[in-house]
Structure 1
Amino acid sequence: MKYSAEKKKAIVLYILEKISSGTQSLSSVVAEAFGISTNTVHSYLNELIADKIIEKHKRGEYALVTERNSYLFQRNAGELQSDMIAYEKCLKNQISHLGENVKHIWEYALSEMVNNVIDHSGAENMQVIVAHNYFKTYVCVLDDGIGIFEKIKAHFSLASLDEAVCELFKGKLTTDAARHSGEGIFFTSRMMDSFLISSDGKIFTTTKYSNDNFLSVDEDTDGTCVFMSLSNFTNRTAREVFDAFSNDDGGFTTTKIPLKSIFDSAPVSRSQAKRICNRLESFEEVVLDFEDVSWMGQGFAHQIFVVYKNLHPEVSIKPINMGPDVESMYLHVTKGS
């Protein structure tokens, strides 16, 4: 059966997505998803192989044909002055054929991450690794400077690196307020399909990270490593990400905190809650995402939803993705408050 160009494109992109994520029994999964035969799926796979978009490793296993390049920038050579240098040299030509929305996201994201290296890390060397295939583009920025979490911990006199990671999730965090708004990492992490920072033995990520067969992250690496990936076919725009966390005047007024990314286990204590509440008054609305958090302690819930709320009634705190046990505790502490 001959399908419309639109349906064929949807099938092909689905195939590429499943290959990228390492899906097993690929032909059966695709056939079931679209109600087509496995023979049809195989014909599409053969076309993709002929076009050098994918390659077959062994029976039933495929991989995207990916080009990878590495670039080194050195401060003493005058190469760490412009935050656009990596985008212009490493990425611009590789993504010139992609949609304007994709190019805008990458231009913003890479320039912001490079700016952090230039202005904050004190690094002498920066390495940028770019890998791209038909479906996705990956960028890794590594530096040999002071680790980002250690820099935040020292600047704000925080008790631990975990507190530094927590503060980074909220946004509006900078160690150089005279020159920076503290928004770059927050917005970049929301624009990407995958975003991860590894430094000082700690990891910051707003996504369900997977290596995508591109990069194995070493949590004990010196300096800072930033990993980003984005589908070449995404419909996301930089503007819609900014708007999601801004008011009508364009101000950065809303933050979203994924609790599962901050706590290894269910949050229970008032001290954990106080860590979350630090600086929340910088925002008009705070979204607390409880996805994959199975339970929370009474002290944690009471400190945020009663104590902090009474102290700062001007801040709207909105819990989302609450499971039954989390919602039960939320209702318990807020009853009558």
Structure 2
Amino acid sequence: MAIRIHTMSVDSEHRLVSIGVIASRLGVSVSWVRKLTDAGLLPSVRTTGGHRRYDPAEVDAAYRRHVVALPPLASGAGTTLYSARSPLAGLEEHVVWRDVMAVLPPSVEEAARGVIGYALTEMVNNAVDHSGGSVAEVVARQRDDVVEIEVRDDGIGVFEHLRVHLQLPDAESSVLELSKGKRTTDPAHHTGQGIFFTSRAVRLFRIEANGISWIVDNERGDQAVGESSVVAGTVVRFSVPLAGVRPMRDLFWEFADEEFEFARSRPSVRLAQTGDHFISRSEAKRLLEGLDRFSDVELDFAGVLEVGQGFADEVVRVWPSTHPRTRLTPMNMSPAVEFMMRRAG
């Protein structure tokens, strides 16, 4: 659907509003409204000066029609075990898990069932409590020796939701915050652990929303952020082998302290960068934001080629001096990164 461009009448001009008003009305950023408009999902007109204007009533209708409506799932390879589309109102994640568990093949070991159950219920709960949408779709497939789960909703999108509520500079920053753990927009009712542990428990984890894709490949020990065709809603996909899976309790213990509290984190430094190098102190501050919630933090420098003096000084000297209760441990450093970190110490 192309963007409508026409000359405004006098009557229509009186009810048209700016992109900023529409962003506030929908509870999203101006850049996100612009992206939806460019994708043809929100109708707009242009003034003689070339500025976009929106009819609030038309935008509301289009938002419900195009953003709220889920497109049909593309048929995937493998055997479909379960597929259901449900209203989010009244949807209970334990009921979804009960129905999915009933169709899993007998060859799925107990530990694998535990991982699938944890990941599925957490992702469905996120859709119910945080998406702001109206519909969710859950699909389970078996492909050879792997169970694949897909959870979709028609809401605002997980990255934009976090950007708005955590007041982040952009939606891409949401990926870094999710990788840290303990980041939630509703701390009174949620711990911010669901995506953190799910992304580490499964073989392959992929979450797409707001034109962004975050992939965690635990088999290869790698992760990446890129572009996505998903601009409306959130799509989460993850895969779990039928056998040989680490139990959830072992994963929980890896990030827990002696009192079984979620006290350790291992963010990927690469998720905070736009290239292969970190130069500025501000980049370090962005990386370290909120990590004082943990007692031990391992900073994973895998894939980072170099860091600048200001970045290294903030990580090694300045931030630890003001947060003495949190121990930072750099890991997987290249020789150039290790040199700068040692020099800063």
Normalising by structure 2, report the TM-score.
0.71
Query: Which piece of structure 1 moves more, 153-162 or 255-264?
Result: 255-264
- CA distance in structure 2 between the partners assigned to 1:237 and 1:199 by the alignment: 29
Question: What SS is found at the alignment partner of 2:104?
Answer: coil
- CA distance in structure 1 between the partners assigned to 2:80 and 2:344 by the alignment: 52
Structure 1 residue 154 displacement after superposition: 0.9
How do residues 196-207 of structure 1 correspond to structure 2 at under 5 angstroms? 196-207=206-217
- CA distance in structure 2 between the partners assigned to 1:161 and 1:209 by the alignment: 27
Structure 1 residue 242 displacement after superposition: 0.2
Structure 1 residue 81 displacement after superposition: 2.2
How do residues 95-106 of structure 1 correspond to structure 2 at under 5 angstroms? 95-106=105-116
Structure 1 residue 131 displacement after superposition: 1.8
Normalising by structure 1, report the TM-score.
0.73
The answer to whether structure 1 residue 285 and structure 2 residue 296 are counterparts is yes
Structure 1 residue 90 displacement after superposition: 3.1
Equivalent position of 2:46 in the other structure: none
Say if 1:208 and 1:101 are closer, same or farther in 2 by CA, change over 3 A: closer
- One-letter code aligned to 2:285: K
Correspondence for 2:170 among 160, 167, 175: 160
- CA distance in structure 1 between the partners assigned to 2:262 and 2:153 by the alignment: 28
Equivalent position of 1:321 in the other structure: 332
- CA distance in structure 2 between the partners assigned to 1:136 and 1:263 by the alignment: 33
- CA distance in structure 2 between the partners assigned to 1:285 and 1:95 by the alignment: 39
Question: What SS is found at the alignment partner of 2:307?
Answer: coil
Equivalent position of 1:73 in the other structure: 85
Correspondence for 1:239 among 230, 249, 262: 249
- CA distance in structure 2 between the partners assigned to 1:279 and 1:191 by the alignment: 23
- One-letter code aligned to 1:71: S
Query: Which piece of structure 1 moves more, 129-138 or 109-118?
Result: 129-138
- CA distance in structure 2 between the partners assigned to 1:308 and 1:180 by the alignment: 27
Say if 1:244 and 1:95 are closer, same or farther in 2 by CA, change over 3 A: farther
Equivalent position of 1:87 in the other structure: 97
Equivalent position of 2:49 in the other structure: none
The answer to whether structure 1 residue 332 and structure 2 residue 343 are counterparts is yes
- CA distance in structure 1 between the partners assigned to 2:102 and 2:184 by the alignment: 28
Say if 1:181 and 1:96 are closer, same or farther in 2 by CA, change over 3 A: farther
Paired residues of 2:272 and 2:286 also in contact (CA < 8 A): no
Paired residues of 1:206 and 1:261 also in contact (CA < 8 A): no
Structure 1 residue 209 displacement after superposition: 9.0
Question: Which string of whole-angstrom CA distances, capped at 9 and with x for unpartnered residues, describes residues 294-333 of structure 1?
Answer: 1112221111111101111211001111111111111111
- One-letter code aligned to 1:127: E
How do residues 1-337 of structure 1 correspond to structure 2 at under 5 angstroms? 66-68=78-80, 71-75=83-87, 80-207=90-217, 218-265=228-275, 266-334=277-345
- One-letter code aligned to 1:329: M
Equivalent position of 1:6 in the other structure: none
Question: What SS is found at the alignment partner of 1:131?
Answer: strand
- One-letter code aligned to 2:93: D
Query: Which piece of structure 1 moves more, 89-98 or 158-167?
Result: 89-98
- CA distance in structure 1 between the partners assigned to 2:82 and 2:219 by the alignment: 22
- CA distance in structure 1 between the partners assigned to 2:146 and 2:230 by the alignment: 27
- Structure 2, unmatched stretches of 5+, are 1-76, 221-226
Structure 1 residue 208 displacement after superposition: 6.5
Structural RMSD (CA): 2.1
Question: Which string of whole-angstrom CA distances, capped at 9 and with x for unpartnered residues, describes residues 123-147 of structure 1?
Answer: 2111122221331111111110111
- CA distance in structure 2 between the partners assigned to 1:164 and 1:218 by the alignment: 15
- Percent sequence identity is 32
Structure 1 residue 95 displacement after superposition: 3.9
